[in-house]
Structure 1
């Protein structure tokens, strides 16, 4: 297997070897697997790294786009040029360091609580914990007195032991957001008030915010145990010149800080290949690499003066400003198009709502008109039926009236009734006849005048007749209501002159009188 791997490495060109070294330094994958993945990715390092961390299959569209942007790999068989190869090997690390892919780290989820042992176990292991802390602090003091021993231990120790050493700082592991808040709190307690706007979220969220807002992300990694950390922070990072440059909105800078005593910042330091503290790096979106790439475009390691630190930041930001301006212009154009489309959609929705409202009003008006027409037709039909029933009732009641008594009946009552039309009805009634018969004669007067009227008419079913008039005596005024009943002889006497007063007309006059009174009252109140 090793011979085959050596054979494959010998067949690689210098460009392919450079891509393999960059990919292996970021992912730590075995060369055999790395070569296979790089070949599937057309030796494009960015695509291969994205496939490795995302665990996704190959994207033909993205690979085609990246293949057009990147030069094709050089063939394995070529003419050897030692001077060119040496120059390429010397310039490759510098080129790679100029725009290395920004790494992502695996952090503790926010929803995952920190492990807390049961109270009984914590109480039982308290003596061992105290002894461990005492020995650990003693060895730390010993390492401070003899600095070469920790470095010697780090170079000779097992990698597993080095990984275990990360969690021996005694700091409780927290989620990314809580870790950032703890770093800011400790920074404020150590260095007092300042104007550095540290992001209060994890490293991965800071990368997402930098990519979303198209801003530079300044990563500041501190080692509290380092001798130069405190002086660099006070003299350089918190200097007015640096703070003014960071807070200038035109520079588009976001700041994320961390202490290597925390697991997340420790992983970031290893991923960014931090070799000297204090350490700062600048990460920004690089659209010329891919649509989602975040790259490390600058590193500032060790102690620097405020002017030197500001100058390096200015150089880094100005060098990478043009691609960001293009992306901002593209996004602004897309946002303008989206806003215009939303305004058009909103105007269309408003117009559609107005049309719907008008259609609803037309439907309601049409329904109201149809309802009124139907009600008018129903009223007319009811009125026509009422008139038919009234005519039928008059025919029926006329044939049921008794005959007029002759002149030989001494006790007969002679009544003269004056109709509203001016005509008079002269009729004799039997003394025991009811007052209702007098009303019926007046109601059926026109029918009684027709001698050819039918005599076999039946009473209409479901019809209740009500007289629309009343009979009154003018002087003295007396009303002979049909509801009171009684014989004609008892009510009127041997004879009388009566008038017909329509009840409906009086009701209308009463209503008109009430309306006039209400209007007069309203006029008085307003005056």
Structure 2
């Protein structure tokens, strides 16, 4: 395939692959890129690994990728491409020659070194116990690394790979991460390091003082490393974006000559660590042989190692836009190359500290502080809205409770009103029934009174008549004040006296000639008929007659009894006066009225024949 026939994107991919492989045949590179659908990362894996990478996921499967970073290198003062007289930095020493010759030699060396691994482990334990950095021989060290770029670690998760890389870094430099420095003394006795994925409180000031003031070699034993983020690169970038913090990406190559010096001088420098801690810069690192570090190097366009890049949210460049676009993750600066000399090298600690304090932080911090204030304001507004919603919900709940209570009270009042109306209706109905029953009883008693007047009221004895016994005079005083006198014989039944008093209650419109000649409702004649009717109606003699006879003074009742003679009553022997007292359902009231009538009568004005 001719280079001129390639599209601009394909030409760019070809240039990237040739830069990574230190040149090479263009036709071979084009064929490799074409076999992997012009994916530079997969093509590099094919070149360096010698085997095709795993197939890419189907198009319908969603994958999380960090948004393509913008690059803002305007303030780097020639740290990229070496302007202002600074030298060019050579790329990674990887080529087809290295793949064909160097790598097989490394494989043979690793196989021959297998019997020495126990000795290496013993030496590593002794060096760690004495806090002595592990020596490095060229590109090799006592720390074992798997063969090939990530070939044996592809199945491991990014967090485990990051933890392993940090542990190897600690062993190689003799330093420890800041958050785990407190556990260093506890774990050094048994020769095992302490892994932690969470950054703890900083002890950088005390450590830095020890490095600066110590002159007896104790500084080497107090070396510290940054608190590295344990996870994948994309997760690290999302964390920087979410927490509005500056991120520092460290990518190294263990095959590079400058690797060991960079790790021991720059990554453990007190001033560099102090700047990282004080400005809360998140740090992520990895070796180019690991898949995550390789992917990060491709996205950050790293060509020379060691490599450091600072990333953070920055305003999107959109000239002519009326509204401010949303901020995007941006590459603030890139630093790649050796770390010596310490005063001018691109990745030297002093160079990085000067760049942070004089260029990057003054340019980036104000915008991040603004974003933090806006985020705090949004959080405050969200909390205020949540509080308002909570208050509204409580008010709505209280209103609903008041409405329910009012409805319940109204329902109770309506129910009470309904019950009262029903009770009133029942009382009226009962009153009507009582009145109707009373009317029926009055009519029934009127029939009996008229029959008693015709059949049981005996005529008065004639003078000289002796068949009915001794004649006696009985005065009757009615409750309305009327007075009546009647003569009876001693052998006359008491019923005749009651029948006579009962006849006095018959209205004048009922004439005596029209009285019935037979008992009402086919009852029996005489007293038997009265007793039978009392039993049928369930009334006592007083209730049936509707009155009782009482001797005026001293007050004594004359109760009705069937078959009893007037002469058998001691209080009426020789005659006397009786007072009529009505008996109703309210006996007490009737008794009071009858008693008051008696109290008003001090003189009966009647005399018997014996007088």
TM-score by length of 1: 0.48
Larger Rg: 2
TM-score by length of 2: 0.42
